[in-house]
Chains A and B, each alone.
Chain A
Amino acid sequence: MSATTNRDGSTVPGPGRRARTVDVLVIGAGPAGLAAAARLAAAGAGAVEVVDREEQAGGVPRHCFHSGFGLRELRRPMSGPAYARHWCDLATGAGAALRTGVSVTGWSGQPGRDGGTAQGRNAGPAGGPVRAEGRGPLVVDTTGPDGLERVTAGAVVLATGARERPRSARLVPGTRPAGVFTTGELQQAVHLHHQRVGLRAVVVGAEPVGYSAVRTLRGAGVEVAAMVTDQPRHQSSWASGLGARLHHRLPLLTGTTVTALLGRGRLSGVALRHADGRTTTVACDTVVFTGDWIPDHELARLGGIALDRGTRGPAVDTAFRTAAAGVFAVGNLLHAVEPAGTAAREGRLVAGPVLRYLADGVWPGGQVPVEVDAPLRWVAPNRIDPRGPRPPLGRFTLRTAGTARRLSALVVTQDGRLLHRERLRRAAVPNRPLYASADWMDRVRPDGGPVVISAG
């Protein structure tokens, strides 16, 4: 991991490494990163550069060929690639430099050193805001076809997104045959590379992305044998679930887990265990593991930037500030995952705090952590600076784990003191967004313990 940093901690580039300086470096050219770059460039932040390791900018929407992007914020339905192009055009049109095929391989030094490196540890030392100049510049190393660079930036915005957990990380036993996908790989195989996938597939997971996988498979001429979820019901929209079942005769197997992959060379089937304990085998040559998202937090961790224990993305306050001075984070790196429009909104909203930081160099200390109790899984943002703004749309985003009892209310406390209680209008379902109002923020004691959100 240290191969890309000078061992003496200096920022002099190694042999053959070009040194460059920008005002703001945005890492990741998905909707969040592009929206941030567009707004920052338009607002006169100076040299704004957005880098992406893929050859094409746009992030995940690049390979989501279904419609429905942009409805909320752009007021028109777009396909994923069109939506990706929209943000690319906006960023470059505003004057941001967009560089693709460039990988950020690490930091020179550890920007998060002062904030602690252990996950879940409180961000920042206790106390008031501090001027950040003393902490040294932010410097990253990159690799691209044009060579190696060492880029110094006044501020860095991490927008590295999220990915689906693959089969191995889900610890699904069995053989290791070909024909095992995530939705991300499936969509790229079908839509970007026009590869043949298989003849008969099982889709694991019934979040909205699972239905996207079904659409992609059907479009590629693959029969979908079944959709399998360990949850008691699907977690997509009512229309999507019903439509898939009635219109496409898609069997949805709820309360069902995949106990093994079968076959040598090529997948021959999946072994299932049903809610009642029955075990069956479904013959298929393709299986798609969908959802179960995890933030792509490699750069945050390489920089020693504190992660939130729940989201596993960098811990951030309501102004998208991480524990490392000058390093911001936006998009699904913070909450895996919310719709692309939410990521883009955060990209726009981060511009203000970045500009302010570039002007005054002030970084907050003594933020109050926001934590959740089971069955809640995570909350984002998850740090509060009492002087900071309210979160986007005045609400915190949460997720709950699978639970038998339905959640009826959320309770917010600090040191046992009730800050807020709200009834939930809809039942909380795993893998679907759950929101808590931020109306209680001004009642948080800056010198108090963590704020805890629990199910009431």
Chain B
Amino acid sequence: MAVTTSGRLPDEVYDIVVIGAGVVGSAIARELGRHPLRIALVEASDDVGDGTSKANTAILHTGFDAVPGSLESRLVREGQRRLAAYAAEAGIPVEPVGALLVAWDEEQLAALPRLVEKAERNGYHEARIIGADELYAREPFLGPGALAGLDVPGESIICPWTTTLAYATQAVRAGADLHLNCPVSGIVAGSPHELRTGRGPLRTHTLINAAGLRADEIDRMLGHADFTVRPRRGQLMVFDKFARDLVRHILLPVPTALGKGVLVAPTVYGNVLLGPTAEELDDRTATGSTAEGLAFLRERGGRVLPALLDEEVTAVYAGLRAATEEDDYQIRCHPEQRYVTVGGIRSTGLTASMAIAAHVVELLADAGQRLGTPRELEPVRMPNIGEAFARPYERAELIAADPEYGRLVCHCERVSRGEIRDALASTIAPSTPEGLRRRTRARGGRCQGFYCGAAVRALFTSGPAGPVPGTTGAAGAEGGEPSLRPEVGP
């Protein structure tokens, strides 16, 4: 029921510790939050969702092109349903724009019927082949030379930042502890397990490994060598909002062995995304972009949507997908160790997250973990940072009640002082301006801070939370301890 960023960890034995506060670990902590258990979510970084979960293509997949019969196929399909419903309840921005898979040559054209068949085997029945005429009617700015397309109406775009934050917020409010800046460097397996962390020892009865790019290292600390993470870097470019009118669907290429290829897609913030590259790397920290990668993306993007290249680039980023040598998720329960590994969660992890969490809790129950009687979680409602619904700057009643929502600080993204204040006072407050950006979009627009950077930083350092290290209370449903950060939400 607390969020800590520094200092020694509590001297207690947790029932369950989840390593990794990415989208998967946070979803697991949230799912466990239903049960009367002492849970800790520990994260090496200073924020939730700060690894692979923050730098992906932000798509809520149908799973139409998964490997039929795989665990990934089942969890993506189920996770898509769960997350779509949860997003509506929690206010996570989602836009059901649909995807069009575009065939540019005869070989790709020939692959389309097989993709329809694959979709059927994955339980997805809406995919259908469309001709070039319909393709161009639906995407008038598509580059010349497209032969046909595959219409996949169920694909959506989603806000990955709000998703992870919503899970973690709900987990913390349900009583879980979130320990940030807490890298795990060693584990002494036993009863209880003792974790060596950057902030001292941490003890737990049961352990769940959702460490993403480090999942194999954690696995080895417990004597398992089932898989090796082979980071696959994806560089992405975000184009200015003026490009949004150029594209109506997620435009996918025909997939290859190396991945789903380079896509062009709208974002829920009203931008256009181009990427990712797919580069096999050894370095698990290589989240930089490269001149070659960006040139490759521009070349691809220019073919799909020629007018895109005339627009300004708002952001460039790179993420590492936690691919392994295996062709499926690596989720394994080791009951004798009271330990579950959740590894190899690749680009579909965002979509599958809630189903992965439910699956992990089932595995724990089957392994004899006493979970207690589950209860309903207190619903969470996240601030809206998407364009599909009214933002605070457009809401007269909100500004009338609190003029701070009418005081815009970040002009490109139209973020008000009120929203920044709320984020700084929220259950899981940001500890860097980048974290603030992921919660509000402040400083995330075309000027990248030319106008607002200094003002946003000033609000950040003077905010109610600020980058002050140490334990901060969180508003818990049970109200066990006084809250240092009252919840002030729209």
Question: A residues bordering B, Cβ < 8 Å?
Answer: 1, 3-4, 14-17, 53-54, 101, 103, 105, 119, 143-148, 163-169, 171, 173-176, 178, 181-182, 184-185, 188-189, 192-193, 195, 259-260, 264, 294, 296, 298, 301
Count of A-B residue pairs with CB < 8 Å: 133
The answer to whether B312 touches A188 (Cβ under 8 A) is no
Known: A16-B397, A119-B310, A188-B454. 13 other contacts (CB 8 A): A103-B411, A143-B393, A145-B403, A146-B403, A166-B449, A169-B312, A173-B290, A181-B453, A188-B453, A193-B458, A260-B288, A294-B312, A296-B447
Residues of B within 8 A of A165 (CB): 312
* A173 in complex: contacting residue of B288, B394, B453, CB < 8 Å: B288
Shortest Cβ gap from B239 to chain A (Å): 10
The answer to whether B314 touches A16 (Cβ under 8 A) is no
Residues of A within 8 A of B146 (CB): none
Q: A17-B396, A101-B407, A143-B399 are in contact. Are A164 and B316 (CB under 8 A)?
A: no
Residue of B nearest to A54 (CB): B451
* 24 CB < 8 A contacts A-B: A1-B244, A1-B270, A14-B396, A15-B396, A16-B396, A16-B397, A16-B400, A54-B451, A105-B414, A143-B408, A145-B406, A147-B396, A163-B447, A163-B451, A168-B313, A168-B314, A173-B316, A175-B288, A185-B454, A188-B453, A189-B457, A192-B454, A195-B457, A260-B290
- B488 touches A (CB below 8 Å): no
The answer to whether B393 touches A164 (Cβ under 8 A) is no
Secondary structure type dominating chain A contacts: mixed
The answer to whether A184 touches B455 (Cβ under 8 A) is no
Shortest Cβ gap from B450 to chain A (Å): 4
Residues of A within 8 A of B397 (CB): 16
Residues of B within 8 A of A4 (CB): 394
- B175 touches A (CB below 8 Å): no
Within 8 A of A (CB), among B394-449: 394-397, 399-400, 403-404, 406-408, 411-412, 414, 432-434, 446-449
Question: B residues bordering A, Cβ < 8 Å?
Answer: 238, 241-242, 244-245, 270, 285, 287-291, 293-294, 310, 312-317, 387, 390-391, 393-397, 399-400, 403-404, 406-408, 411-412, 414, 432-434, 446-451, 453-455, 457-458, 461
Docked Cα-Cα span, A171 to B309, in Å, equals 12
Shortest Cβ gap from A263 to chain B (Å): 10
Docked Cα-Cα span, A176 to B454, in Å, equals 17
The answer to whether B288 touches A182 (Cβ under 8 A) is no
The answer to whether B285 touches A182 (Cβ under 8 A) is no
The answer to whether B396 touches A1 (Cβ under 8 A) is no
Residues of B within 8 A of A176 (CB): 287, 317, 434
Docked Cα-Cα span, A301 to B310, in Å, equals 14
The answer to whether A182 touches B313 (Cβ under 8 A) is no
Shortest Cβ gap from A396 to chain B (Å): 24
Residue of B nearest to A147 (CB): B399
Q: A193-B455, A195-B457 are in contact. Are A169 and B244 (CB under 8 A)?
A: no
Residues of B within 8 A of A173 (CB): 288-291, 293-294, 316
